[in-house]
Structure 1
Amino acid sequence: MNSSEDFHPNENGWQNSIIIVPTLLSSSTLLTVIIILWRLFSRKRGDKRDAGERTGDARNGDYAVNMGGVYEYPLGAPDPVLEMKQLPQDWRVEDRAVLCVGHFGPISRAVLVGKGEDRCEVILKELSEKCSPGEVQDFIDLLKFYNEVCNHGGVVRMLWCQTEAPPMCLIMEAMTLGNLLLFLRESHEEEMADTPSAVCSITEQDVFSMASQVASGLEYLSGTHNLVHGYVAACNVLIHEDMSVRLCGLGLASVQHRTGSFPTSRAARVPVKWQSPERLREPSVTEKSDVWSFGIFLYEMVTLGAPPYPDVDPAKFPKTLKKNYRMAKPQQCGERLYDVMTSCWQWEALNRPCFTNLLKQLQNFSAEANGSTLLRATDTLNWAEYLRVAGIPS
């Protein structure tokens, strides 16, 4: 009897424990989860705020590609990859003249003076002193890209770099006549003066030669490194007085080389008249979209820098292109060259040739090109009008 009475109170206590203990455990677990989530949320807000302070507003494009990146090699410490490319201490830079302000900072033409007072013209791409840590790392990555990838006659090459003392800079070979688009546009002034110089004398055969060199550089990027350029145009080609040319403007390719993907936000800044149909529909940049742009580049050269689709307003260009509109053959353009152009402008990307095939066509057709008649400018636009018609922000 006693044993039975003892059992009931214990049974009631056990039943209460079954109810109370899980309740307490559930409450404490829920509280712990809430605290963890609150801390994670607070940390993300702080990280986002810090990244915004370091890199700027992404919507305005004022940000480093390497968002909030950490600089692996502080200024003054040697980078093992770039150590052999450091500018020798007994070399100096003279006669610096700023050409423009690029993505990282000022771009200048200068003279490099070495031992024995040897001199050579160079292009300096400098890193701004007001850069973020992410931009510093991006610049280091750009230098590594030039060192590892730009070892081909069709692309501009790095001579030296400076990372162990400010300002950080990339030192590239200079081409005596500079930017091809500006060179072509200046030929308009030569014609108006009716005293064309020998340097500005370009024939259709020269166009084939220069186009082959650019196509060779693009074939190297796509074939050897699986990279795309993203903005194939006369403004991204440099020309020497012997009519040799090299591809430049490789910033988009350098980002793709580092990250494995194409920076669509920066690629969207390319003027629409150089973009392929699929690229206008969605942010897709491939070798075949570069091929489309290469056809526009051929048009630029044979017209001595005329804006593409001169009779189409840039705002209406996508709709006009969708109607299967293509540029007519320029008057001074041979049939062979125009055939190459139109093959680049096939609506379906798969139907366009690759750069290997384009290079073969250009080399085979070059012998048939006109090598005696000088090309003439096909428009009389001033620079401001050119920018407006081409759809390039001034």
Structure 2
Amino acid sequence: MRLSIGATLAVGACLLLAEPVTGFFNLFLSQAEVRKLMGLKAELFYVREGVVNEYAMKFVVPVPAAVHKLHFTWESLAGRPLPYTIYVDISNPAALTTSLNVSETGEIPTGGVQTWALALHCGPYDAEIDLSVMISVSTTRRNSTRLEFKRKKICLKDKSNSHPVIDGVSIAASSTNSGGQVFYAAVGCACAFIAAICVLVLAYYVKDKKARRHREPLQESRGLGSACSVERGTGIGPAQTFLSPDTPPPPSAASVSTYRRLDERSNRELYERIQEITIQRCRVRLLSVEMEGTFGRVYRGSYHEEGATTPKDVLVKTAAEHASQAQMALLLREGLSLYGLNHPGLLAVLGVSVEDRGAPFLLYPHTGYRNMKRFLLRCKLSSEGPARALTTQELVEMALQIAKAVQYLHRKRLVHRDIAARNCVVDDELRVQIADNALARDLFPQDYYCLGDNENRPIKWLAIESLLNKSFSTASDVWAFGVLLWELTTLAQQPYVEVDPFEMASYLRDGYRLAQPVNCPDELFAVMAYCWAMSPDERPTFSQLIVCLQEFHAQLTKYV
């Protein structure tokens, strides 16, 4: 299986899994160069104080079409210039040529760093070209260090300029009929004027429609809400219907016949759920903001249940004042997706409050749990004190809890479709629960992308068939679970950070996958790799994953 370089390359470069060689010089990629090629904020050392980073040398680094120069930085540490030779090998010289801004033979200078560039000149057609930059540095009279940097350059034909270019000026074909040019110019001006009028009319229509929609009275639901007064002393009227019970649900993009997504229930069913678990807004007190996005917020609060002597600690998901009706409806639909399910590994909604004078409240039990992605990031770097070190045994135990919860969902013939660290919670005892994905797009916008279809999706967690066909099944949940395992072992690094979201489908189709994280045992990485099989039928079930993880966990406990 071919693996991508990912964030593991940056970590591996820092750890320098290396073999010592004779010589004293540095050769590295600057932070700007690494960001340009891989999207990482780090320097990448290929040679540090004469030690070659063999781990980093193994990878073929893709060079995007927009990058036309490769920069390398080096310096001699031997107190004298070190002779070098540079040779560039290209798989398709007709599609790509190169040029250096330094001589092919020369000396690495002393007294400071030097950055040199290899210019890449693409040919007149689209192509992917393999090239190798081979450098030999003579460290002594008898010893030399040989390095080979492998790159894959993407060349795209420039179709933006179809006219011939003479002395840098684009020359358009001249017409023999100047009168015809005037006529067509007049027609073009008239068309532009008509188009401008149409745009103004359309803008006025949209603005008027929006104003009329805001003037319409809010539709009221039956039996929701309460007549109790809130702490401010204002009365609470009937609740607003964000989900009309008679409106059919939107068509699903999933191609699963026997399994359905958690929130693909009818609007009538969701409406009935809201009626069943409606709570009085006046019994909820918001204490502090836990997380906040553009239009959504998560509060820590308390809920004083009727007849109870003490209030419960709760988490409250709600929308900001400027959130749209569609966003509030989506919050309700996704927040109620786990309602009615009972498993220790699931965080189900406790109650809902829908009032006509504010955004809906979704209440969840709060017993010390916190978002798992933020927890993992704090384990890596904590400003509150020493970072917490998670052992492999603890990571496997957390993965087992998640796998058992998803297995329960699949036995209920439900597909989650957004399994990720951001949609899990964990407490100090490392007990994990899967939550719904309500507000996830807003609270973690860096994890979701819109590929021109007006739908934010977790592109880098999706299986290949989900990317290409929007097809979701238990097998696509298995793929996402593999990415979640990678998140656990990397402490919530971003997957495929160097890959453009628009290129993810072709990247996966070519056989590339996430690389094995540093310090990740081979047995655990093998479980991840099985989850990323190209064919859904070749991926394991969660029952099989649980057996594999339990056997690996048993091996770990033998040595503890």
Give the TM bin, normalised by the shorter chain: 0.5 to 0.7
- Residue 466 of structure 2 aligns with an amino acid whose one-letter code is R
Equivalent-residue separation in structure 1 for 2:514 and 2:334 (angstroms): 36
Residues 120 and 205 from structure 1, CA distance in 2 versus in 1: closer, same or farther, beyond 3 angstroms? farther
- Aligned-residue CA RMSD in angstroms? 4.0
Residue 356 of structure 1 is matched in structure 2 by 543
Q: Which has the bigger relative contact order, CA under 8 A and spacing at least 6?
A: 1
Residue 347 of structure 2 is matched in structure 1 by 156
Residue 279 of structure 2 is matched in structure 1 by 87
Equivalent-residue separation in structure 2 for 1:298 and 1:219 (angstroms): 16
Q: Identify the match of residue 110 of structure 1 among 280, 301, 304.
A: 301
TM-fit CA distance, 1:166: 4.6
Residue 313 of structure 2 is matched in structure 1 by 121
- Residue 160 of structure 1 aligns with an amino acid whose one-letter code is G
5+ residue gaps, structure 2: 1-204, 226-236, 240-270, 440-450
Residue 391 of structure 1 is matched in structure 2 by none
Confirm whether residue 216 of structure 1 aligns to residue 404 of structure 2.
yes
Equivalent-residue separation in structure 1 for 2:431 and 2:492 (angstroms): 17
Richer in helix (by share): 1
TM-score, normalised to structure 2, is 0.45
SS across alignment from 2:279: coil
Equivalent-residue separation in structure 2 for 1:346 and 1:86 (angstroms): 44
Equivalent-residue separation in structure 1 for 2:355 and 2:480 (angstroms): 38
Identical-pair percentage: 24
TM-fit CA distance, 1:131: 6.3
- Residue 170 of structure 1 aligns with an amino acid whose one-letter code is L
Equivalent-residue separation in structure 1 for 2:351 and 2:322 (angstroms): 23
Confirm whether residue 320 of structure 1 aligns to residue 507 of structure 2.
yes
Equivalent-residue separation in structure 2 for 1:166 and 1:156 (angstroms): 28
On the 8 A contact 1:275/1:289 being kept in 2, the answer is yes
- Residue 181 of structure 1 aligns with an amino acid whose one-letter code is K
TM-fit CA distance, 1:343: 0.8
Structure 1 window deviating more from structure 2 (281-290 vs 131-140): it is: 131-140
Equivalent-residue separation in structure 1 for 2:530 and 2:289 (angstroms): 41
SS across alignment from 1:110: strand
Equivalent-residue separation in structure 2 for 1:266 and 1:357 (angstroms): 35
SS across alignment from 1:147: coil
After superposition, give the CA deviation of every residue in 1:281-338 in whole Å (9 maximum; x if it has no partner). Answer: 2222222112111101101101112222355454543333222122332231122211
TM-fit CA distance, 1:359: 2.2
- Residue 277 of structure 2 aligns with an amino acid whose one-letter code is K
On the 8 A contact 1:268/1:283 being kept in 2, the answer is no
On the 8 A contact 2:466/2:476 being kept in 1, the answer is yes
1:1-394 matched pairs, under 5 angstroms: 53=210, 72-73=221-222, 81-83=273-275, 85-87=277-279, 91-97=283-289, 99-101=291-293, 105-113=296-304, 118-127=310-319, 141-142=333-334, 145-148=337-340, 150-163=341-354, 166-167=357-358, 168-174=360-366, 176-190=368-382, 195-196=386-387, 200-224=388-412, 226-251=413-438, 268-369=455-556
TM-fit CA distance, 1:160: 2.4
On the 8 A contact 2:396/2:549 being kept in 1, the answer is yes
- Residue 288 of structure 2 aligns with an amino acid whose one-letter code is R
Residues 247 and 266 from structure 1, CA distance in 2 versus in 1: closer, same or farther, beyond 3 angstroms? farther
SS across alignment from 1:307: coil
TM-fit CA distance, 1:347: 0.7
On the 8 A contact 2:481/2:531 being kept in 1, the answer is yes
Residue 14 of structure 2 is matched in structure 1 by none
SS across alignment from 1:208: helix
Residue 33 of structure 2 is matched in structure 1 by none
Equivalent-residue separation in structure 2 for 1:353 and 1:172 (angstroms): 32
TM-fit CA distance, 1:171: 0.3
Structure 1 window deviating more from structure 2 (158-167 vs 359-368): it is: 158-167
TM-fit CA distance, 1:265: 9.4
Equivalent-residue separation in structure 2 for 1:313 and 1:140 (angstroms): 32
Equivalent-residue separation in structure 2 for 1:193 and 1:133 (angstroms): 39
SS across alignment from 2:339: helix
Richer in strand (by share): 2
After superposition, give the CA deviation of every residue in 1:17-51 in whole Å (9 maximum; x if it has no partner). Answer: xxxxxxxxxxxxxxxxxxxxxxxxxxxxxxx989x
Aligned length: 298
- Residue 118 of structure 1 aligns with an amino acid whose one-letter code is T
SS across alignment from 1:99: strand
On the 8 A contact 1:181/1:234 being kept in 2, the answer is yes
SS across alignment from 2:285: strand
Equivalent-residue separation in structure 2 for 1:273 and 1:337 (angstroms): 20
SS across alignment from 1:158: coil
After superposition, give the CA deviation of every residue in 1:330-373 in whole Å (9 maximum; x if it has no partner). Answer: 23112221121111010111110122222232223222237989
Residues 371 and 189 from structure 1, CA distance in 2 versus in 1: closer, same or farther, beyond 3 angstroms? farther
Equivalent-residue separation in structure 1 for 2:536 and 2:428 (angstroms): 35
Residues 322 and 71 from structure 1, CA distance in 2 versus in 1: closer, same or farther, beyond 3 angstroms? farther
Equivalent-residue separation in structure 1 for 2:452 and 2:314 (angstroms): 30
Equivalent-residue separation in structure 2 for 1:110 and 1:266 (angstroms): 37
On the 8 A contact 1:212/1:362 being kept in 2, the answer is yes
On the 8 A contact 1:205/1:371 being kept in 2, the answer is no
Equivalent-residue separation in structure 2 for 1:286 and 1:86 (angstroms): 32
TM-fit CA distance, 1:268: 4.7
Residue 384 of structure 1 is matched in structure 2 by none
5+ residue gaps, structure 1: 1-47, 57-68, 253-263, 374-394
Equivalent-residue separation in structure 2 for 1:139 and 1:193 (angstroms): 32
